[in-house]
Amino acid sequence: LQERKLIVQIIPFENRRQILVTHDVTETERIDMMRRDFVANASHELRTPLTVINGFLEIALAQPGLDMEIRTSHLKLMTEQGQRMQNLINDMLTLTRLESVDYPLRAELVHVRPLLEGILEEARALSAGKHKLTLEIEGPNLKGNLDELRSAFSNLVTNAIRYTPEAGSISLIWKSHERGAKFVVKDTGIGISQEHIARLTERFYRVDKSRSRETQGTGLGLAIVRHVLLRHRATLEIASVPEQGSTFKVVFPASQTVIPA
């Protein structure tokens, strides 16, 4: 149990009586710590690719006559690292925007079929024929923000591909649910052991840092998913068995669904 900290101030009032003011700073301190962690993590994540880029730039300056082939391979590595920094900054900006209290949800009618068909197409490109991908759609449309929902769904599908070895299967299902509607992403990938599941949606939390970097993950994907779902009153359930696969289930309440005419 966390110890609570209170600030107590005694303020003179009308020369006689006194008023006691208390502030609970436990929450403020927790937010402060989270902010410090975020800055430390983000700086570290940005420093790594920058170190690689600077290293290759130094080589290029010190060895102007470097073989063309080597030079091209260095340029390719630098481009990859630049892309990594860009992904990270984009995700950080998205997350900051989603978290700000004065950023209202711009809700519209979202047609689920074209949205999921588009995501499936992207997934096919990313998988490059290495996985079996299926999509099943039977259910209502949604009230929500198209871009936010696309980014949340696409994050879940991208993860399923990233963390599923070749020849594995990934199924996407959109279906009516007793509480409204559900979107399920099921993979036969590496899975996640129980102790990690509860922490997956924390910013920069990764089960295996090096693997996530290899796959161009920023470590912010599921934090973005969580915020988008919160804004849409939806819940996320994660079930997984190591080395067998994972299921990410999003449930939208009936208030967020629209039955097609």
> Interface residues with ligand ADP (CB under 6 A)?
155, 159-160, 163, 187, 189-192, 200, 205-208, 212, 217-223, 246
* Cα–Cα dist 60/73, whole Å: 12
Question: Nearer to ligand ADP by C-beta: 7 or 93?
Answer: 93
Least Å distance, CB 203 to ligand ADP, is 8
* Cα–Cα dist 234/117, whole Å: 21
Instruction: HSE, CB side, 13 Å, CA atoms: give it for residue 216.
Output: 16
Are 185 and 129 contacting, i.e. CB atoms less than 8 angstroms apart? no
Question: Nearer to ligand ADP by C-beta: 200 or 250?
Answer: 200
* Cα–Cα dist 20/24, whole Å: 13
Least Å distance, CB 161 to ligand ADP, is 8
| DSSP structural state of residue 255 | G
| DSSP structural state of residue 4 | P
Question: Nearer to ligand ADP by C-beta: 206 or 232?
Answer: 206
Per-residue exposure over 180-211, b if at least 16 CB sit within 10 Å of its own CB, e if not: bbbbbbbbbbbbbeeeeeeebbebbbbbeeee
Least Å distance, CB 201 to ligand ADP, is 7
Residue 6 three-state SS: strand
Least Å distance, CB 86 to ligand ADP, is 14
Least Å distance, CB 58 to ligand ADP, is 29
Question: Nearer to ligand ADP by C-beta: 181 or 185?
Answer: 185
Residue 185 to residues 95, 152, 247, Cα–Cα distance (Å): 22, 12, 6
* Cα–Cα dist 207/242, whole Å: 12
Strand partners, 183: 174, 250
Least Å distance, CB 73 to ligand ADP, is 25
Question: Nearer to ligand ADP by C-beta: 55 or 202?
Answer: 202
Question: Nearer to ligand ADP by C-beta: 22 or 210?
Answer: 210
